[in-house]
Structure 1
């Protein structure tokens, strides 16, 4: 319980923009980078000289965010901000987004799979008919990451050691609410009429995708991590205003949660030996719940093999859109 208490009340951040050196020459994507935690993260990366692509469905919101960031950041140290159209709930559109990025860049240093949806109206589905949270939080990011893998691999020879990464956004709900083993595979095909349960499933899914990608691509120099960014007062809670009111004493500024993502994406603490690790607020590596860690291990490693099952599920559901 102490591990959970420290995530509810993390104390002062020890990894902030002050710890980040120049990011000139680096290329980043932050999905959902025009609002909330993603906006704050984008602002830091831009101020450090990075070229940041804000990926999302609304160009208008992205342009507004870019204007706000440029107003606040007086010296970007050579940084750049770009919009990349991306609709994570429409698998048929994601390849075009990846191709657009490839037409502009030859490498990708860090991909932050930051965008997500939380507890939309019961019965909400994606363009392809998948439960909306599973589609937006897992299937879309999985496909987008797979399509961008050649550019992540291309960044490795040019990058500092351990610096090419994929970051997956989880939640404290993973440890507080997930069933033993993290996911009931049958629920992927027949989602329960419980939007909290399906949200938790999608966030455990992000953790599993992070550990599987670390296993599959660590040998090629790519680090993959997941995190609980911390409870932030953002628009993610727009579908549950009652929850926002009840949890207000535990909500923090989005800037603090952005430090968790910043740490996951850039901290030198995260090495290849810690590939697949789990990050908690406001930037610390911490062991995840034991049964979840066991579920992420392969059966050959003595684990449950649930992460591999979830990866295979995502691969099967997205293969026609590759």
Structure 2
């Protein structure tokens, strides 16, 4: 079970009043039309950032942008809010989305991979045949991230030290994962599709932790910080496929989405996050947290005594997305 202080974390210490003016800085928040992403985009815009609401639905994005602009906390913002069409479940469309952004901006300071899908109907697939959770939660963000990497590097070359950051959404990785933390199909080398729906979802969340760690190792030398985040227990649209009783309980017990935004924005903006913390795992509502020992083993290559799981997963993502980058 997850540590009790992740179920019932202390009050957040990095909130709106701690975030500096973000004039001139550019951020992308995927899945920002509702829930945690919406709250993160709202706070960033209120601090004068240029924020791209990256989502599938233009109508939902338009409503979200209007709501943010009309909110009292954003009155007088000198930032900008823009829609960026992005469907992470369709690898074939992501290059066009990244190209559109690259045509419109010459910098990218913050990239928050917030969007995801949780426990869709059993057997759900992307249009290319990948498991829907693994495709949407890992392969899509990996592709988008790869296409934006040159701009992240370019921005880091002149931006303040440690300010260019990529945030990958993980979860309570102590709970609901297979015994080894991540399972590969022994015949194909691909991530196994697990029968238990929560284990299958959690495997994609461990995958995001793998990607954050590997990105930190590979591109930390370019001045880019990459972190994974357990945003915390909240009631959001992510649970829309769950049973009604689950939703009712969550509505009483769980925190509102803004608390999850505090977790994300600690990773994206806190001065406590420095190069020495690159690859760290952030827990609610904005603290450095431990990685379970069996998952931590996968972050190290076999040559260093680890299992090499993170390297293997990165290589699989590279292979599966090569044609779309």
Q: Quote the offset at 1:249 in angstroms.
A: 4.4
Match of 2:276 in 1: 273
Matched with 1:315 is 318
Structure 2 unaligned residues grouped into runs of 5+: none
RMSD: 1.4
Deviation at 1:178, TM superposition (A): 1.6
Structure-1-length-normalised TM-score: 0.96
Q: What are the Cα deviations for residues 160-205 of structure 1, in whole angstroms up to 9, with x where unaligned? A: 1101011000111x21122243211118455133321210110000
d(CA) in 2 for partners of 1:175, 1:221: 30
Query: Secondary structure in 2 aligned to 1:61?
Result: helix
Aligned residue pairs: how many? Answer: 320
State the Cα deviation string for residues 272-294 of structure 1 (Å, max 9, x = none).
11100000000000111111112
CA distance in 2, matches of 1:21, 1:296: 33
For residues 106-145 of structure 1, what are the structure 2 equivalents within 5 Å? 106-145=106-145
Q: Counterparts of 1:300 and 1:266 in 2: how far apart (Å)?
A: 34
Partners of 2:215 and 2:253 in 1: CA distance: 32
Distance 1:114 1:247 in 2: 20
> Match for residue 219 of structure 1?
221
Separation in 2, partners of 1:259, 1:92 = 32
Structure 2 counterparts to residues 52-131 of structure 1, below 5 A: 52-72=51-71, 73-131=73-131
1:220 Cα deviation (Å)?
0.6
Question: Is 2:15 the counterpart of 1:16?
Answer: yes
Corresponding residue of 1:162: 162
In the alignment, the residues of structure 2 paired with residue 74 and residue 50 of structure 1 have an alpha-carbon distance, to the nearest angstrom, of 11
- For the residues of structure 2 that align with 1:175 and 1:310, how far apart are their CA atoms? 19
How far the C-alpha of 1:239 sits from its partner, in A, is 0.2
Distance of 1:9 and 1:193 partners within structure 2:
30
What is the DSSP-based 3-state SS (H/G/I as helix, E as strand, rest coil) of the residue aligned with 1:102? helix
Query: Any gaps of 5 or more consecutive residues in structure 1?
Result: none
How far 1:250 sits from its partner (Å)? 3.4
Q: What's the TM-score once normalised by structure 2's chain length?
A: 0.95
Could you list the structure 1 runs, at least 4 aligned residues long, displaced by more than 6 angstroms after superposition: none
Counterpart of 2:235 (choices 233, 236, 239) is 233
